[in-house]
C-alpha cells in the first residue's frame, strides 16, 4: 500500500516536471531543432530561387572543390591567428593596468575602453572605412609625423587590407574581453599577490606567474568565444572592404551570404557551407578545451 502511494507520488511529480519544461521543449523544437534539421535537408538540394533539385551529397562534393570557399576559410584563419592573440594580450594588459590599486579615473578608463563594444558593427566599420581612405585621417596623420612618405592604400592592397581589418577588430573587441579579465582579476585573492611581493617578485613575475595562471579559465573562455566570432566574421568585412581586393578579406560567412542573396539564391549550397563552418568551430573549440585541460 505504502509502496503504491510512493509510485503514484513519483508519477505525479514527474507530470509536474513535464508541465514546467514542455513550453521550453516546444519552443526549442520549433526555433532550434526544426531549423537545424531543415538546413540539413536543404544542404542536400541545389536551388536557384524557387527551383530546387535533389542532389544528394553533390553540394558537399562541390564544396571540397570550391577554391573560393577554401580561400575564404584561409582568410578567416589568418584573422584568427593574428587577431585573437593580439586581442587577448592587449585585453589582459589593459585589465591588469586598470586593476592597479591607486589608479585615478578608473571608471573613466573602463568606460572609454568598453565603449567600442556598444557601437554598432556597421557604423564602426563605415567609420574605419572613412578613416583608412587614401586621403583619410590615418594617412594624413602618418604623413604629417613623417612615418610614411606616400599614403598607404589601406583598403586596396592585399596586405594592408588584412592589417586594417585586424586593427578594426582589435579596436572593437579588446574592451569586451578586457571586462571578463577584470572580473576574473577581482576574484584573485590579494593574499596571493602579497605573498608574491614578500617573496620578492617583480611586476612581470607577478603578472605571468601569479595572475595569468589564476585567470586561465577566463582566458580559455574568451579565446573560444573570440575564435567563434572570428570564424563567423561578417559585418566588419562586408562594410569595410566588401571582401576585396581579390577576395583577400572575403570570409566564409560573406561567401554564404553571397550565395544566398547576391548570386542566384542557392540556399542549398549556403546551408552546406554553414554546416562546414559548424564542424570547424566545434573541432576548434574541442581542441582548445583539450589543450587547456591538459595540465
Partner 1 sequence: MMKKKLGVFFLGVFSASLLAACTGGPEANPEDFASGDENTITIWAWDTNFNIPIAEKAAEYYKQAGHEDATVNVVEMSNEDTKQKLVSGFTSGVSEGLPDIMLMDDYDVQNYITNYDGKFAELSNDIDFSQFAEYKVENASKDDGVYAVPFDSGSAGLYYRTDYLEEAGYTPEDMQDLTWSEFVEIGKDVKEATGQWFVAFIPNRGTHYIQMAMQSAGLWYFDESGEIYLKDNPAVREMAEILKAIEENQLAKPVDYFAPEGIGAVTSGEVAAVNSAIWFSATIRSAEDQAGKWAYTNVPKLETVDTATPYSNLGGASWVVLEESPNKEMAVDFLKTEFAGNDEFYQDILVENGAVGTYLPSQTGEAYQFEDPFFNDAPIYKDFSEWMAEIPGVDYGNNTQAAVDALRSVLQDYFDGNLTLDEMLEKAEENYTMQVGE
Q: Which residues bind partner 1 (CB under 8 A)?
A: 46, 48-51, 62, 65-68, 106-107, 110-111, 114-115, 118-120, 123, 129-130, 133-135, 153, 155-156, 158, 186, 242, 244-248, 250, 258-267, 269
Nearest CB to partner 1, comparing residues 62 and 206: 62
Task: Please state, in angstroms and rounded to a whole number, the distance separating the CA atoms of residues 66 and 58.
Answer: 12
Nearest CB to partner 1, comparing residues 144 and 186: 186
Task: Please state, in angstroms and rounded to a whole number, the distance separating the CA atoms of residues 190 and 196.
Answer: 10
The cell numbers describing 288, all together, are: 582548445
Q: Is 278 helix (H, G, I), strand (E, B) or coil?
A: helix
Nearest CB to partner 1, comparing residues 26 and 134: 134
Sign of the CA dihedral with 281 first, then 284, 287, and 288 last: negative
The cell numbers describing 102, all together, are: 591607486
Nearest CB to partner 1, comparing residues 85 and 242: 242
Q: Which residue(s) pair with 46 in the sheet? A: 53
Q: Least distance in Å: CB of 191 to partner 1?
A: 17
Nearest CB to partner 1, comparing residues 66 and 236: 66
Q: Least distance in Å: CB of 3 to partner 1?
A: 54
Sign of the CA dihedral with 177 first, then 180, 182, and 188 last: negative
Task: Please state, in angstroms and rounded to a whole number, the distance separating the CA atoms of residues 12 and 52.
Answer: 49
Nearest CB to partner 1, comparing residues 13 and 48: 48
Q: Least distance in Å: CB of 210 to partner 1?
A: 20
Nearest CB to partner 1, comparing residues 115 and 212: 115
The cell numbers describing 279, all together, are: 564542424
Nearest CB to partner 1, comparing residues 135 and 203: 135
Count of beta carbons in the 10 Å neighbourhood of residue 18: 10
Q: Least distance in Å: CB of 41 to partner 1?
A: 14
Q: Least distance in Å: CB of 260 to partner 1?
A: 7
Task: Please state, in angstroms and rounded to a whole number, the distance separating the CA atoms of residues 19 and 10.
Answer: 14
Q: Least distance in Å: CB of 157 to partner 1?
A: 8
Q: Least distance in Å: CB of 165 to partner 1?
A: 16
Place of cell 582589435: 170
Q: Least distance in Å: CB of 217 to partner 1?
A: 21
* Buried b or exposed e, range 225-240, using 16+ CB within 10 angstroms: bbbebbbbbebbbbbb
Distance of CA 195 to the CA centre of its chain: 37
153, 100 contact by CB (below 8 A): no
Amino acid at each position: 500500500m505504502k509502496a503504491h502511494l510512493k509510485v503514484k507520488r513519483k508519477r505525479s511529480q514527474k507530470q509536474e516536471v513535464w508541465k514546467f519544461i514542455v513550453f521550453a521543449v516546444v519552443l526549442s523544437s520549433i526555433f532550434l531543432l526544426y531549423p537545424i534539421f531543415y538546413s540539413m535537408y536543404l544542404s542536400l538540394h541545389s536551388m536557384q530561387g524557387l527551383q530546387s533539385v535533389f542532389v544528394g551529397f553533390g553540394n558537399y562534393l562541390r564544396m571540397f572543390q570550391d577554391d573560393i570557399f577554401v580561400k575564404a576559410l584561409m582568410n578567416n584563419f589568418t584573422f584568427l591567428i593574428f587577431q585573437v592573440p593580439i586581442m587577448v594580450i592587449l585585453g589582459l594588459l589593459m585589465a591588469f593596468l586598470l586593476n592597479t590599486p591607486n589608479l585615478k579615473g578608473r571608471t573613466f578608463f573602463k568606460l572609454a575602453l568598453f565603449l567600442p563594444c556598444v557601437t554598432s558593427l556597421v557604423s564602426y566599420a563605415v567609420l574605419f572605412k572613412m578613416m583608412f581612405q587614401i586621403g583619410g585621417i590615418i594617412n594624413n596623420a602618418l604623413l604629417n609625423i613623417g612615418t610614411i612618405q606616400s599614403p598607404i592604400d589601406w583598403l586596396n592592397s592585399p596586405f594592408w587590407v588584412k592589417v586594417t581589418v585586424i586593427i578594426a577588430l582589435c579596436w572593437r573587441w579588446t574592451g569586451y574581453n578586457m571586462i571578463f579579465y577584470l572580473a576574473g582579476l577581482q576574484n584573485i585573492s590579494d593574499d596571493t599577490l602579497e605573498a608574491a611581493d614578500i617573496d620578492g617578485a617583480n611586476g612581470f613575475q607577478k603578472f605571468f606567474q601569479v595572475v595569468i595562471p589564476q585567470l586561465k579559465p577566463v582566458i580559455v573562455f574568451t579565446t573560444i568565444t573570440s575564435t567563434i566570432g572570428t570564424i563567423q566574421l561578417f559585418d566588419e568585412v562586408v562594410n569595410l572592404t566588401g571582401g576585396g581586393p581579390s577576395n583577400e578579406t572575403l570570409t566564409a560567412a560573406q561567401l554564404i551570404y553571397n550565395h544566398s542573396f547576391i548570386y542566384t539564391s542557392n540556399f542549398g549550397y549556403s546551408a552546406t557551407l554553414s554546416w562546414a563552418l559548424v564542424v570547424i568551430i566545434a573541432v576548434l573549440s574541442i581542441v582548445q578545451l583539450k589543450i587547456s585541460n591538459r595540465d
